[in-house]
Amino acid sequence: MPSKKSNSNSSKGPKPLHICIVGGGSSGWMMATYVANHFKFDGRKLKMTLIESAEVPPTGVGEATIHTMRGYLEDAGISEEKFIKECQGTFKHGIEFVGWSDNTPSFFHPFEHPPVVFENHAALNFLKADRGEGAMARYDYWAGIQSRLARNGVSPRKKSDIPYHGIVPYGYHLDANAFAHFLKKIATQRGVNHIISHVDKVESSKGKIDRLHLRNGKQIEADIFVDCTGFAARLIKELGGEFISGAEQLLVDSAVTCQVDAKDIESRPFTTATARNAGWTFDIDLQTRGGRGYVYSSKYLSPDEAFKEFSDAYPGQLDESRARHFQLRIGRMDKAWKGNCCAIGLAAGFLEPMESTGLYFVEYTARLFVEVLKSLTDDNMEVHADWFSGIFSELFDEVSAFIEAHYKLSNRRDTQFWRDATSAPHSPRLAQLLSLWESRAPGQFDFTGRSFFEAESWQAILFGLGWRPQKSHRLASVDQKTALAHFRELKVHADRIATTNPQHADYLGL
């Protein structure tokens, strides 16, 4: 780091800041590529090394993103066209939830926010209309156009749109292994030194990592170590990092995934999350294959039973020899940055695949890390580390409460999993929000701006599940006539976009 001491008139100049990332999964390469676009690695001021083990394969299944990924890619200096081509990218309007509630067979969580004309009133307008005629039970159609675009297979952007922009915000589906490979090429071209070897020993003293001992016999010293070793959290644990489990609130702890062939995909521009007996399955369509997964609780199903239910749900599509089983470690480290070690990705924490938050946390922390690097000196790492850890914990806990709500507000009680999942204890944050919302809908002032999932997302999930405030005195003041006129206008608008934007499959040439 730019050292006060070493910035003195030494003829050799300051010692370069050395960042050593351990882990060659999505998080390691996302971090390396992003940092490399913001700093030049010239061996004098900065040096970056990425070490990955040949013995431990990356998790390689993070295949759906939220729409902030566009900002990450653009800010990392990556061409959207190349990214889509090399990573089998398809567009994602949001998530369709199927079977999560008896109230509606399905509902949609889009990325867009309700149109400006509604401002904060979309929820109130919806509640009033819903109480009146009962005709507006679908909040997703009420709050915007994106769920209609998704269901009609319309692309969120045209070829002539500037990169990373469309008529509505959009995320991606991507091939996780291709994505890591794509980023690896870019990061190494930008000067990141890549070493393939297993870290056998982490040597530390006084709460900091001194050096790593690699299986190839080399030792690596650095100023900052970035732990991207996945669930192993190999570096941060060495510094006494403690894991705070989220298993009490979120019951799923296992997953089985399987790739499916092109013949079994429909190139849908959205992810589907379908509630099942002991969890939920996801459908992700890429350009030439699909990703399917069953995220479940091992308390209720063995891996064999889970695969059986999974393959019954996708008749004729799943080949057991391609199935991969995972144990999920739900929760986060007490501090994501300890001493001179910063953990990101699965090493820092994981919240199950719902709402595609894994890569979102990586993008977010890569940005935080760059902020820290800009102002780091020899003697202020601790204060920046605390800042980084505080923000990550707050973000993680906020998103965790949101994921919890998906289960706890469901009215499914048909299996033991659902009876237990819906009655599991609420986190303090979820309990606080739900008591506020007994008498009103989620609103903008309930959130600090830290998490991507704010009032609009909560409304989509809560209203979609059939939740309503128990008492809502403010409904009387809503001008329903104007609201209904806007509602009709939304459909016309969505139909218009379907004529100006191409079909998703046509855009991608599928």
Q: Does residue 243 interact with ligand FAD by CB under 6 A?
A: no
Q: Does residue 51 interact with ligand FAD by CB under 6 A?
A: yes
What totals of helices (H) and strands (E) does the chain contain, helices first?
16, 21
Least distance from ligand FAD to the Cβ atom of residue 68, Å: 11
Least distance from ligand FAD to the Cβ atom of residue 267, Å: 17
DSSP state of 67: T
Q: Does residue 22 interact with ligand FAD by CB under 6 A?
A: yes
Residue 139 · residue 174 · CB < 8 Å:
no
Beta strands 46-52 and 193-196 are parallel
Residue 427 · residue 249 · CB < 8 Å:
yes
Least distance from ligand FAD to the Cβ atom of residue 239, Å: 15
Q: Does residue 249 interact with ligand FAD by CB under 6 A?
A: no
What is the spatial distance between Cα 408 and Cα 405, in angstroms, rounded to a whole number? 5
Q: Does residue 23 interact with ligand FAD by CB under 6 A?
A: yes
Q: Which stretch binds ligand FAD (CB under 6 A): 18-26, 296-304, 387-395, 502-510?
A: 18-26
What is the spatial distance between Cα 69 and Cα 363, in angstroms, rounded to a whole number? 7
Q: Which residues pair with 214 in a beta bridge?
A: 199
Least distance from ligand FAD to the Cβ atom of residue 131, Å: 36
Q: Which stretch binds ligand FAD (CB under 6 A): 227-235, 381-389, 409-417, 433-441?
A: 227-235
Helix/strand/coil (H, E, C) string of 188-250? Answer: HHCCCEEEECCEEEEEEECCEEEEEEECCCCEECCCEEEECCHHHCHHHHHCCCCEEECCCCC
Among 257, 287, 393, 451, contact with ligand FAD (rule: CB under 6 A): 257
Q: Which stretch binds ligand FAD (CB under 6 A): 139-147, 341-349, 416-424, 476-484?
A: 341-349
Among 153, 358, 442, 469, contact with ligand FAD (rule: CB under 6 A): 358
Q: Does residue 258 interact with ligand FAD by CB under 6 A?
A: no
Q: Does residue 93 interact with ligand FAD by CB under 6 A?
A: no
Among 33, 59, 90, 410, contact with ligand FAD (rule: CB under 6 A): 59
Q: For the purposes of burial, counting CB atoms within 10 Å of the CB of 247, is it exposed (0-12), middle (13-18) or buried (19 or more)?
A: middle
Least distance from ligand FAD to the Cβ atom of residue 357, Å: 6
Q: Does residue 67 interact with ligand FAD by CB under 6 A?
A: no
Return the number of the residue (22 or 154) whose C-beta is nearest ligand FAD: 22
What is the spatial distance between Cα 350 and Cα 341, in angstroms, rounded to a whole number? 18
Q: Does residue 397 interact with ligand FAD by CB under 6 A?
A: no
Q: Which stretch binds ligand FAD (CB under 6 A): 56-64, 367-375, 376-384, 425-433?
A: 56-64
Among 345, 349, 442, 464, contact with ligand FAD (rule: CB under 6 A): 345
Q: Which stretch binds ligand FAD (CB under 6 A): 38-46, 126-134, 350-358, 424-432?
A: 350-358
Structure tokens at 65: 């993103």
Q: Does residue 198 interact with ligand FAD by CB under 6 A?
A: yes
Q: Does residue 26 interact with ligand FAD by CB under 6 A?
A: yes
Least distance from ligand FAD to the Cβ atom of residue 323, Å: 11
Q: Residue count at the site for ligand FAD (CB under 6 A)? A: 38
Among 73, 95, 127, 228, contact with ligand FAD (rule: CB under 6 A): 228
Backbone angles phi and psi of 200, in degrees to 5: -90, -35
Residue 506's H or E segment, with its range, is: helix 504-508
Window 159 to 188, contacts with ligand FAD (CB under 6 A): 176
Residue 491 · residue 139 · CB < 8 Å:
no
Ordered DSSP codes for 271-331: EEEEEETTEEEEEEE-SSEEEEEEEE-TTT--HHHHHHHHHHHSTTT--GGG-EEEE---E
Among 346, 421, 455, 508, contact with ligand FAD (rule: CB under 6 A): 346
Residue 14 · residue 2 · CB < 8 Å:
yes
Q: Does residue 25 interact with ligand FAD by CB under 6 A?
A: yes
The answer for residues whose C-beta is within 8 angstroms of residue 216's C-beta and 6 or more apart is 195, 197
Distance in angstroms between the alpha carbons of the first and the last residue of the chain? 48
Q: Which residues bind ligand FAD (CB under 6 A)?
A: 22-28, 51-53, 56, 58-59, 61-65, 176, 198-199, 228-230, 232, 234, 255, 257, 293, 326, 328, 345-347, 353, 356, 358-359
